[in-house]
Amino acid sequence: MSRIECDVAVIGAGPAGLAAAERAKQSGAGRVILLDRDRELGGILNQCIHNGFGLQLLAQELTGPEYAEHFINKTFDSGVETMLNTMVLDVTRDRQIIAINSDEGLMRIDAEAIILAMGARERNRGAVTIPGTRPAGVFTAGAAQRFINMEGYMPGRRVVILGSGDIGLIMARRMTWEGAKVEAVLEILPFPSGLTRNIVQCLDDQGIPLYLSHTVISVKGEERVEGVTVARVDENLKPVPGSEWDIECDTLLLSIGLIPENELSREAGVELDAVTGGPVVTDEMETSVPGIFACGNVVHIHDLVDNVTREAWAAGEGAARLVTGKQPRGATIRTRAGDGIRYVVPHVVHVQNLADRDVRLFMRATHPAENVRVEVVVGDNVLFSKFERVVRPAEMLALTIPAGRISEEAIASASLADAGRRGEEGSKNGPELVVRVTPRDVHKRGGVQA
Amino acid sequence: MAATKRITADVVVIGAGIVGTAIARELSKYELSVVLVEKEADVAFGTTKANTALVHAGYDADPGTLKAKLNVAGNALYPKITQELGVLYKNTGSLVVALDEDQMLHIHELKIRGEKNGVPRLEVIPAERLLELEPHVNPDAVGALWAPTGGITCPWELAIAYTENAVLNGARVLLSSPVIGIDVHEGRVTTVHCPNISIDARFVVNAAGVWADDIERMAGRDDFEVTPRRGEYYLFDKRASRIVARPLFPVPTPFSKGIVVAPTVDGNLLAGPNSVLTGRKDDYATTAPGLAEVLEGARKLIPDLPVREAITNFAGLRAVAEPGGDFIIGVSPGLSNFINAAGIQSPGLTAAPAIAEMVRDILSDAGLELMEKPDFDPIRKRPLRFTELTREEQARMVAEDPKWGHIICRCETVTEAEIVAALHSPVPCTTVDGVKFRTRAGAGRCQGGFCGPRVVAIIARELGIPVEKVTKKGGKSRIVMGPSKEPLLECSCSVEGMEKEVGDDV
C-alpha cells in the first residue's frame, strides 16, 4: 500500500470539494489533494446540463458543467493535486484515509486536515415505502438524469414523477424536451419542494400538471412499469380512501429528497445532526472530530450551488487556518433553531470570528410565510435581523452577520438580561444564538435592523 | 414444434429454485445427463429470491410429516453443503419469544414437538437469559425457546452455487425456457417441450414451485393444487442489523411461523412475512396494509425497530399445496417416471439438501441407475468479494487486474472485477438483478441509484449487446428505451423544444 502525506485532503470533487480545495490552497495550505470516485471533476454538476447556476455568485447564468468548469480551472491554477476514479474506503479519527483506484491500487493518505465533501444521495423507493410490484422503470430522478445527459439513453416514454424536488422538476422538462410525455408530478406536501422558478419553467411552461397533497400508493407492472395508482392525502399525509385513480405510464421517477452521504463521516466518529443528517459543524466548518471539516450537501441539503460554494470556501479557509496554526481560540456559542426555523448551520460559532469577519448562517424555514423578519436572538434580545418578503422550506435562507455586529459584550448582556427576565442564573449550556422567524411588525421596538 | 432443437436427457428437472438446483446438483454426482429448465432469465428468481433466508431448527412442523423429517435432516446438512459450495451460512441459533404466560405454554409444546422431530438441544429459557442474548427484545417477554441449531443463509446464493456446481459436473441449464408442453405415452412422460427446445427425457422432476400443479397438469395429472400465500417483507440498512443477533420468532399460528425479525448473512435486518392468500401465482406486489402488518408484528418482538432505516420492501410467494399442506415428494400417481417435488413452502430452504437426496433415492427406486462419477468435484469456489478480502489481498488483486480498483457499487463496495466475473460465471448471468444477486451491486442502501447506470453499461459491454437490450430481470423488463436523441430526429415538436433550451442557455 502506497503512503501519501498532505496538509489537506478533500473527499469529493463536486462544487463543494472543488471550492474547498482551491480555497484551502489559496489560504496557505501546503499540499492539497482532491479525491473523487468519478472519471472527471465536477461531481453531479456534470449531469446538470440545464442553466441557472451561478446567478448569485458569478452574476452569470451558467449550466452545471460551465459552473464546474469555472471552479475546475481555478482548482488547477491554484496547484491542487487531483486523483480521479478514486474511491475512499475509510476515514479514521486520526485523519488517515484509505483509498483505492485502478492505477495506484490501495493508498494510505495521512492528512493534517480532511474536508468531507461527499455530497448527497437520493432517497429511493424503499425510504418512503411505495407498495406494489418491483418492475424496471422506477428510477430516482438523478439516475434518470445521468442516463439521459451522460449516457445518452431514454429511461422511458410516459412518465409520472413523485416529488416536486428540483431534480424531479428539471427532469420533467428534460424528458418532455426529449420527446417523453410527463403525465403528472405529484407532491405529498401541500406546497412544492422545489424552487419557484423551476415550478414555472419546468412544469407550467411545459403544461405538466402538478398535484399537491397527492402521492403514489401503488406501482403496477411485472416486468416494466405499466402504471401507478395515485391518491390525495389528508393533513396527516395519509391517502384519502376513494380519492385514488390510475395513471398509465412506463416510468416512475422519484424526486423525494436527498440524504447527506455520511457513511465515511460515521466511520470517522463525526457527530451528526438528526435534523440535517449531516455533521455538527463550527463556523470554521470543522466537525466534532478535530481536523475533519465538512461542507456542501454532506452537511445539509442545499438548493443553490452558489451557497454550496460559499460554504466550501469557509471550510477551505478553516482547514487552512488549522494547518497554518491560525485557528480561532476562545469562547464559542451554540446556535439553535427557534420558531419557524427547522435547523441552523453552523451549529457553533467562535465569538472571536463574530468580531473579526462576516459570519454566514444557513437555515431553512419550517413552513412558508410572507413579510417576516429572520432574527438572531439571545433569550428574547434581538441582536441582528433581516427582512424577508417570502420564506419557503424549499429555499435555503442565508444570513450574513457582518464583522463586529454582534460583540462578546452584546451576547453577555443579552444573556444576563434573559437570565434576569426568567429569574434564573442563565441557561445551563451558556448562551445560545437562536434564529427565529417572526412576523414583520412584532419587534418594531428593538434589535438591530439589517 | 418441428423447428425446435431436440435433445435427450436422463433427467429433466423443471424449475431452478432452491429445490430444483439442489436436485440437479445431487444428480450431477452420477453418470447421468441432467438438464435443468427454468422459465425465468436466471436461477432463484421465484420463491427462492424472496423468503426469510432461515435455516430452521425443525420444531415447527407436525411430527411424522415430510416437513418435519426433511427440515431436521436438511438442517444437519447445511454446514457441509455451504462449506463445499462457498455459501454464507451462520449457525446463529434461533429464539421463539413468548410475550405472556399463555404463549409460554406454547413454547413448552413446541419444545416437545421439536424433540419428537429429533431437533437437538432445545431449551426453554427465562426472560433474563433472553434479554442477555437479545437486549432489544420486547421487555414484556417472559421467556423463549432456544434452538441452537437454527441459522441463517443466503437462499439465492445457495441456488446459484448449486447450479454452478451442477454445471461444473456436467449438468446443463436452460434459462428463459418455460415448459409449454409435456408428452406422455403409456403412463410415462416422454418429452418436455420448451419454446426453442424439446427434451426427450427418461425421468422428469417437477420442482416448479408455485407452478408445480400446472406442470403436473401438462403431464395429464391433477393430484394437487398450489395455492400461493404471499408474504411481505421489509429490508433494513446494515446500520440496523446490530439490533438482533439471531432470528426471533413469535409464537406460531396454525398458518404461519409469524412475523420474524432476523439478521441476514449479508449484514442487513429483515422483518416479515405476513401471510395473505392470493389467487395469483405472479402476485409479488406489496400492499400498504400488508407492510403495516409486518411492522406491527415485528414491533411486538423489537419495539424499537428502526423503521427509518428501511431500504426496500418486497413480497414472496409460499408454494402451499392442497390437500394436506405437507411437501409432496414422490412419483406422480399414474406416471411412473415423473417425480413431484412440490408444495415446498417453509421450511423448504432448510429442507432442500435433504429433499435432493430423497428425490435421488426415489429416482433410483423408479429405475434410474446411479453410477457415481469418479471425477465429481463437490467444491464450488466462493467468488472473490472485495469486502471479504484483507487490505493486503485487495492491494494484490488491484495489482493483478486494475478492475479490482474500480468500485462500481459504493454502498456495498463492489468492484468492476466482481461484476465482470459474475457476467462470465458458469451459469449465464445477463440481467441487472442477476448481477445484484451474485455480487450485491445495487443491494445496498441506495438500491442501485448510483451504480444502476454503471452496471447496465458493464452488462452491455461484457455481453456485447446494446444498452437498450439490458433488462432488470429478463423478458420485457428493459432498463432504458433507446438512445435519447432518437425522438428529436423523428418529431418536430421536440426540435422546437431543443431550440428553446439553447436559447435559454445564452
- One domain for residues B144 and B158: no
Yes or no, beta carbons of A155 and B490 under 8 Å apart: no
- Which of A273, A293, A327 terminates a domain? The answer is A327
Amino acid letter for position B498: M
Average pLDDT over residues B325-343: 96
Q: Record the cell numbers describing residue B451, joined without a space.
A: 451504480
- One domain for residues A216 and A319: no
- One domain for residues A113 and A138: no
Contact of A443 with A345, CB cutoff 8 Å: no
What are the C-alpha distances in Å from A47 to residues A67, A305, A308, A325, B498?
Answer: 12, 14, 17, 39, 17
Please give the backbone phi and psi of residue B217, each rounded to the nearest 5 degrees, phi first. -65, -35
ipTM confidence score: 0.91
B positions 43-102 inside 8 Å of A (CB): none
- The alpha-carbon gap from A312 to the nearest alpha carbon of chain B, in Å, equals 24
CATH code for the domain of B296: 3.30.9.10
Yes or no, beta carbons of B483 and A153 under 8 Å apart: yes
- One domain for residues B237 and B111: yes
Could you give the CA distance from residue A165 to residue A318 in angstroms, rounded to a whole number? Answer: 31
- One domain for residues A150 and A118: no
Average pLDDT over residues A104-113: 96
Q: What percent of chain B has pLDDT over 70?
A: 95
- One domain for residues B257 and B305: yes
The pLDDT of residue A449:
43
Amino acid letter for position A322: L
- One domain for residues B109 and B191: no
φ/ψ bin of B196: left (φ > 0), alpha (ψ from -120 to 50), beta (otherwise): alpha
Could you give the CA distance from residue A338 to residue A324 in angstroms, rounded to a whole number? Answer: 36
Q: Record the cell numbers describing residue B416, joined without a space.
A: 468492476
Inform me whether the C-beta atom of residue B494 falls under 8 Å from chain A C-beta atoms: yes
Residue B306, judged by CB atoms within 10 A of its CB (0-12, 13-18, 19+), counts as: middle
Q: Which of B405, B473, B494 lies closest to A179 in CB terms?
A: B494
Q: What percent of chain A has pLDDT over 70?
A: 96
The pLDDT of residue B488:
46
Q: Choosing among B477, B490, B495, which should be mutated to test the A contact, i.e. which has the most A CBs within 10 A?
A: B477
Q: Which of A63, A121, A131 lies closest to B450 in CB terms?
A: A121
The pLDDT of residue A379:
83
- One domain for residues A93 and A183: no
Give me chain A's average pLDDT, please: 93
Q: Which domain holds residue A399?
A: 329-450
- One domain for residues B446 and B431: yes
Could you give the CA distance from residue B123 to residue B138 in angstroms, rounded to a whole number? Answer: 20
- One domain for residues B27 and B74: yes
For residue A255, list its beta bridge partners: none
B positions 231-290 inside 8 Å of A (CB): 234-235, 282, 284-288, 290
Bond from prior residue into B347 cis (ω within 30 degrees of 0): yes
The pLDDT of residue A440:
76
Closest to B175 (Cα-Cα) out of B159, B191, B152: B159
Could you give the CA distance from residue A72 to residue A65 in angstroms, rounded to a whole number? Answer: 10
- One domain for residues A226 and A195: yes
Could you give the CA distance from residue A401 to residue A380 in angstroms, rounded to a whole number? Answer: 18
CB atoms within 10 A of CB B121: 12
The pLDDT of residue B448:
92
- Contacts made by residues A410-419, CB under 8 angstroms, sequence distance 24+: A410/A383, A411/A333, A411/A351, A411/A378, A411/A383, A414/A377, A414/A378, A414/A379, A414/A381, A414/A383, A415/A378, A415/A379, A417/A379, A417/A381, A418/A378, A418/A379, A418/A380, A418/A381, A419/A379
**pLDDT over 80 (residue A442):** no
- One domain for residues A348 and A382: yes
Q: A426 pLDDT band (50/70/90 cuts)?
A: very low
Average pLDDT over residues A433-450: 67
Indicate the pairing of strand B181-185 with strand B172-174.
unpaired
- Which of A206, A233, A256 terminates a domain? The answer is A256
Could you give the CA distance from residue A424 to residue A429 in angstroms, rounded to a whole number? Answer: 13
**pLDDT over 70 (residue A244):** yes
Closest to B60 (Cα-Cα) out of B231, B254, B247, B210: B254
The pLDDT of residue B342:
97
Give tens-digit pLDDT for B379-397. Answer: 999 999 999 999 999 999 9
Q: A168 pLDDT band (50/70/90 cuts)?
A: very high
- The alpha-carbon gap from B271 to the nearest alpha carbon of chain A, in Å, equals 14
Q: Record the cell numbers describing residue A150, joined without a space.
A: 451522460
Could you give the CA distance from residue A132 to residue A252 in angstroms, rounded to a whole number? Answer: 12
The pLDDT of residue B156:
98
Yes or no, beta carbons of B291 and A98 under 8 Å apart: no
Give me chain B's average pLDDT, please: 94
Contact of B24 with B120, CB cutoff 8 Å: no
Q: B425 pLDDT band (50/70/90 cuts)?
A: very high
Q: Could you tell me how far CA B382 lies from the centroid of its own chain?
A: 17
Could you give the CA distance from residue A144 to residue A150 in angstroms, rounded to a whole number? Answer: 10
Closest to B208 (Cα-Cα) out of B5, B48, B429: B48
Give tens-digit pLDDT for A294-329. Answer: 999 999 999 999 999 999 999 999 999 999 999 998
Contact of B214 with B208, CB cutoff 8 Å: yes
Give the number of domains in chain B. Answer: 3
Could you give the CA distance from residue B42 to residue B46 in angstroms, rounded to a whole number? Answer: 9
3-state secondary structure of A346: coil
The pLDDT of residue B498:
39
CB atoms within 10 A of CB B7: 15
The pLDDT of residue B416:
98
Amino acid letter for position B394: Q
The pLDDT of residue B272:
96
The pLDDT of residue B21:
98
Could you give the CA distance from residue A90 to residue A104 in angstroms, rounded to a whole number? Answer: 16
Dihedral sign, CA of B429, B434, B440, B442? positive
- One domain for residues B170 and B37: yes
Contact of B220 with B184, CB cutoff 8 Å: yes
Q: B470 pLDDT band (50/70/90 cuts)?
A: very high
Contact of B231 with B318, CB cutoff 8 Å: yes
Could you give the CA distance from residue A36 to residue A58 in angstroms, rounded to a whole number? Answer: 25
Give tens-digit pLDDT for A55-91. Answer: 999 999 999 999 999 999 999 999 999 999 999 999 9
The pLDDT of residue A441:
62
CB atoms within 10 A of CB B460: 16
Please give the backbone phi and psi of residue A432, each rounded to the nearest 5 degrees, phi first. -125, 145
Contact of A345 with A299, CB cutoff 8 Å: yes
CB atoms within 10 A of CB A313: 22
- One domain for residues B176 and B289: no
Give tens-digit pLDDT for B259-302. Answer: 999 999 999 999 999 999 998 999 999 999 999 999 999 999 99
Residues of A in contact with B290 (CB under 8 A): 131
- One domain for residues A263 and A252: no
DSSP symbol at A149: I
Yes or no, beta carbons of B413 and A222 under 8 Å apart: no
Yes or no, beta carbons of A100 and B485 under 8 Å apart: no
Give the number of domains in chain A. Answer: 3
- One domain for residues A436 and A337: yes
CB atoms within 10 A of CB A331: 14
Residue A59 CB contacts under 8 Å (≥ 6 apart), including other chains: none
Contact of A393 with A191, CB cutoff 8 Å: yes
Q: Record the cell numbers describing residue A355, joined without a space.
A: 468580531
Residue B125 CB contacts under 8 Å (≥ 6 apart), including other chains: B133, B143, B144, B145, B146
CATH code for the domain of A172: 3.50.50.60
- One domain for residues A28 and A116: yes
Q: B89 pLDDT band (50/70/90 cuts)?
A: very high
The pLDDT of residue A423:
59
Give tens-digit pLDDT for B348-372. Answer: 999 999 999 999 999 999 999 999 9
The pLDDT of residue A422:
67
The pLDDT of residue B497:
37
Give tens-digit pLDDT for B249-271. Answer: 999 877 677 999 999 999 999 99
Q: Which domain holds residue B257?
A: 90-151+230-315
Could you give the CA distance from residue B293 to residue B295 in angstroms, rounded to a whole number? Answer: 5
Residues of A in contact with B311 (CB under 8 A): 124, 126-127
Average pLDDT over residues B141-161: 98
**pLDDT over 70 (residue B39):** yes
Yes or no, beta carbons of B483 and A154 under 8 Å apart: yes
- One domain for residues B504 and B450: yes
- One domain for residues A269 and A174: no
pTM above 0.90, yes or no: yes
Q: Record the cell numbers describing residue A275, joined without a space.
A: 435534523
Q: Report the side by side order of strands in the sheet with B54-55.
A: B54-55, B151-153, B89-90
Give tens-digit pLDDT for B244-254. Answer: 999 999 998 77
Bond from prior residue into A431 cis (ω within 30 degrees of 0): no
- One domain for residues B283 and B140: yes
Residues of B in contact with A125 (CB under 8 A): 312, 447
Q: Which chain B residue's Cα is nearest to A100?
A: B405
Amino acid letter for position A383: L
CATH code for the domain of B368: 3.50.50.60
- One domain for residues A161 and A264: no
CB atoms within 10 A of CB B196: 12
Closest to B62 (Cα-Cα) out of B249, B250, B327, B260: B327
The pLDDT of residue A413:
85
- One domain for residues A113 and A233: no
- Which of A288, A303, A327 terminates a domain? The answer is A327
Indicate the pairing of strand B269-272 with strand B229-236.
antiparallel
- One domain for residues B203 and B258: no
Give tens-digit pLDDT for B100-124. Answer: 999 999 999 999 999 999 999 999 9
Q: What percent of chain B has pLDDT over 90?
A: 91
DSSP symbol at A146: I
- Which of B382, B409, B436 terminates a domain? The answer is B382
Closest to A263 (Cα-Cα) out of B411, B235, B443: B411
Yes or no, beta carbons of A136 and B497 under 8 Å apart: no
- The alpha-carbon gap from A48 to the nearest alpha carbon of chain B, in Å, equals 13
- One domain for residues B223 and B336: yes
The pLDDT of residue B503:
32
**pLDDT over 70 (residue B506):** no
The pLDDT of residue A78:
97
- The alpha-carbon gap from B50 to the nearest alpha carbon of chain A, in Å, equals 12
Could you give the CA distance from residue A308 to residue A312 in angstroms, rounded to a whole number? Answer: 6
